[in-house]
Amino acid sequence: MRSILTFGAAALAISLAAPAFAQDAAENPPAASAQGSDASAAAATLAVGSTVKDKTGAVIGSVSAVKPDAAGKQVATIKMGEDSFTVDTDKLAVADGSATINATADELKAMLQK
């Protein structure tokens, strides 16, 4: 009886969460680099000096460095005004010489203040 309730609760949770996951995926598609090409290809097209845009398309800064982190994963350092932060290159959509991050400028500023 206990396992039936556990499986029933799990099935209910999945059925309720699935539409939310689908909606999130539709509204926030993965970065182009994560959709088929590997991180090294994204890093090759992402260059120092590239413009960085937020998810609304507004220019928020530029790439000041692209290099591997301590674990060997490629990261980009983004200079946004007086602030800078790093992000995995596979989290950036790279097209036409610029990169787009899936956050707004205000969201990024709030994260940097923490």
pTM: 0.59
pLDDT 10s digits, 86-97: 999 999 999 988
Instruction: Decide: helix, strand or coil at residue 105.
Output: helix
d(CA 23, CA 87): 24
Residue 83 tokens read as 């602030």
Most confident region among 8-12, 33-37, 72-76 by mean pLDDT? 72-76
